[in-house]
Amino acid sequence: MAILEPLSIECTSHSESQTQRLGARLGALLPRHAVIALHGPLGAGKTSFARGVGIGWGAEQPLRSPTFTLVQAHHRQHDDATLYHIDLYRVEDARELVNLGLEEILDDENGVCLIEWPERAAALIPAEAIHVKLAPLDDTHRHMTFSTSDAQTWQILLAFRKSAFGV
Ligand SMILES: Nc1ncnc2c1ncn2[C@@H]1O[C@H](COP(=O)(O)OP(=O)(O)OP(=O)(O)O)[C@@H](O)[C@H]1O
Ligand SMILES: [Mg+2]
């Protein structure tokens, strides 16, 4: 069942390491085929959050800013799942998304996708996506919003809230 009003959780991160820890909490809860859309301006902390997701998910290699490759695939030891870290900042038109194989990546049943600058591919982002918005308040504080418009995905966010904030 789809939910019309997006459900959301809000908090303030006080440091890069806190943002990363929140990412790790969410990363540990992600099922296959999950999509996280990371919104926010340059330097908001999207990659910091993604790095934490990689840790929580169990990626063998640390996630880095994927600016030059656009897509970086990560693996973990205990299964054949793939974590795709995608940065669409440099994408200028839909043809580039085709060349990138973004649709195929999103179709990968064993894949989890982390997408920075998802606005560049808005039409391809599924309704089941978890949206994470980072808004800089000052040098070290970021307002964070976690939302989804999908009821099943909301259950993941409720588990995340419990894990991260105990409520
Ligand atoms: N609370 C915070 N959370 C995350 N990053 C923070 C925070 N406070 C300060 N920072 C700093 O902000 C910067 C975030 O960089 P990061 O590469 O994660 O941003 P980004 O959103 O991925 O940028 P880009 O759009 O260039 O990819 C880092 O230099 C980090 O140290
Ligand atoms: Mg980044």
pLDDT tens, 78-134? Answer: 899 999 999 999 898 888 889 899 999 999 999 999 999 999 999 999 999 999 999
CB atoms within 10 A of CB 108: 16
Does residue 3 surpass a pLDDT of 80? no
pLDDT number for residue 67: 60
Indicate the pTM of the whole model. Answer: 0.96
Pocket of ligand 1 contains residue 72 by CB under 6 Å: no
Residue whose Cα lies nearest atom 10 of ligand 1: it is: 16
Q: Which ligand lies nearest the alpha carbon of 42?
A: 1
Give the distance (Å) from ligand 2 centre to CA of residue 64: 8
Strand partners, 23: none
Q: Tokens 């795709």 belong to which residue? A: 84
d(CA 105, CA 110): 10
Q: What confidence category does residue 5 fall into, taking pLDDT thresholds of 50, 70 and 90?
A: low
* Three-state secondary structure call for residue 80: coil
Domains contained in the chain, CATH given: 9-165 (3.40.50.300)
For the chain, helix, strand, coil in percent to 5 are 35, 30, 35
Helices (H) and strands (E) in the chain, counts: 5, 7
